[in-house]
Amino acid sequence: MNTKMPTRKLGNLEVSAIGLGCMGMTFSYTPFPEKKDMIVLMRKAIEQGVNFFDTAEVYGPYNNEELVGEALAPFRKEVVIATKFGFNIVDGKMAGINSRPDNIKKVAEASLKRLNTDVIDLFYQHRVDPNVPIEDVAGAVKDLIAEGKVKHFGLSEAGANTIRKAHAVQRIAAVQSEYSIWTRKYEEDVLPTLEELGIGFVAFSPLGKGFLAGKMDSNASFGEGDIRKILPRFTQDAREANQVLVDLLNTIGAKKNATSAQIALAWVLSRKPWIVPIPGTTKLHRLTENNGAAYIELTAADLSEIETAYSQIQIVGTRYTEAMEKSTGL
């Protein structure tokens, strides 16, 4: 039986209040699960009211889009699929950014095939390309929209000025960036810009790459190919220091009969009515837990308690290595 989850608007695009980030099913978080299990998980998400699924050509590369396309094919009219362009892929590996208009159009055609669909609901520029004017990027997507191959345009990890310039050429439905209670840099200028322009915000890693779910103690280890193995926030010392943030979420959760993950997601949802978190998971019980956050209401007193406690917490470790921040931000 399908559950009706509350919905939110990203520009003119209506989606479930919580989406599903599909990246980890084939990319960044090893070991990868069985394909058949991920098809079951995505279809279970639909049963729980999720209609918003996030993928990209570089996740894999390619096999994530194929997986999402296969899983969602029977439900295509009921779901919103977001994918992304903006990288060169050479010999099956990411090889720098590329948002030249000819590449954008080539990627769109390939993504349509892999997703087994005739239209991409939301097409994001994955990372800003300093070598291509953002107006040209927006113009290329505007052409794809005119051709009926794309419905909505999005940017990822873009700054306020870039957003304004792109939006002037082609209306942006959503900007996607990392956002959680421990990654809040976009509150200063990006979120106010989005509110002014009527653009939605999609929060990836709303659970801090799993840390805020509270199941990662100081002894946790990460396998080869798991991105967290090289991230400054996931060293043993950083995890020990940052545990105070999970303790805060658990304190609030105890009052709400909720988990730290649910409070972390409810906090993101509480920030603005046009913010949609897209936690990723490969486990059915986590999917159900995450989606339960759509029904948790944090009161003004809860939010004040979180903010007061948060102001005393010093987050240890940057979210990415310096080299990653400079190159692609992935």
pLDDT tens-digit series, residues 195-235: 999 999 999 999 999 999 998 877 888 988 888 999 999 99
Type and span of the H or E element at 82: strand 80-85
- In three-state secondary structure terms, 178 is strand
Within 10 angstroms of residue 147's Cβ, the number of other Cβ atoms is: 11
Rounded Cα gap, residues 31 and 108, in angstroms: 29
Cα separation, 276 vs 119, whole angstroms: 22
Mean pLDDT of 159-170: 98
Q: What angle do CA 37, 40, 45 make, to 5 degrees?
A: 125
- Give the single-character DSSP code of 274: T
Look at 118-127, 181-190, 205-214, 220-229 and tell me which has the smallest mean pLDDT.
220-229
Which is it for the CA torsion 119, 64, 207, 323, positive or negative?
negative
59 belongs to the catalytic site: yes
For the chain, how long is the longest CA-to-CA vector? 54
Task: Name the catalytic one among 29, 59, 179, 320.
Answer: 59
Which pLDDT tens digit goes with each residue over 131-146?
999 999 999 999 999 9
Name the residue with higher pLDDT: 324 or 270. Answer: 270
Q: Percent of the chain beyond pLDDT 70? A: 98
**What is the rounded distance in angstroms from the CA atom of residue 1 to the CA atom of residue 78?**
15
Q: What is the pLDDT of residue 326?
A: 73
- For the domain spanning 7-211+268-297, the CATH number is 3.20.20.100
- Asked if residue 330 has pLDDT above 80, the reply is no
Cα–Cα distance for residue pair 257/234, rounded to 1 Å: 28
Question: Where do the domains of the chain lie?
Answer: 7-211+268-297
Could you report the per-residue pLDDT of 296-313, keeping only the tens digit for each? 999 999 999 999 999 999
Query: For the whole model, what pTM was predicted?
Result: 0.96
At position 183, the amino acid (one-letter code) is T
Q: Would you call 314 exposed, middle or buried from its count of C-beta atoms within 10 A (0-12, 13-18, 19+)?
A: exposed
Q: How far is CA 58 from the centre of its chain?
A: 14
Percent of the chain clearing pLDDT 90 (strictly above): 90
Distances 213 to 126, 246, 247, 289 between C-alpha atoms, Å: 26, 8, 11, 10
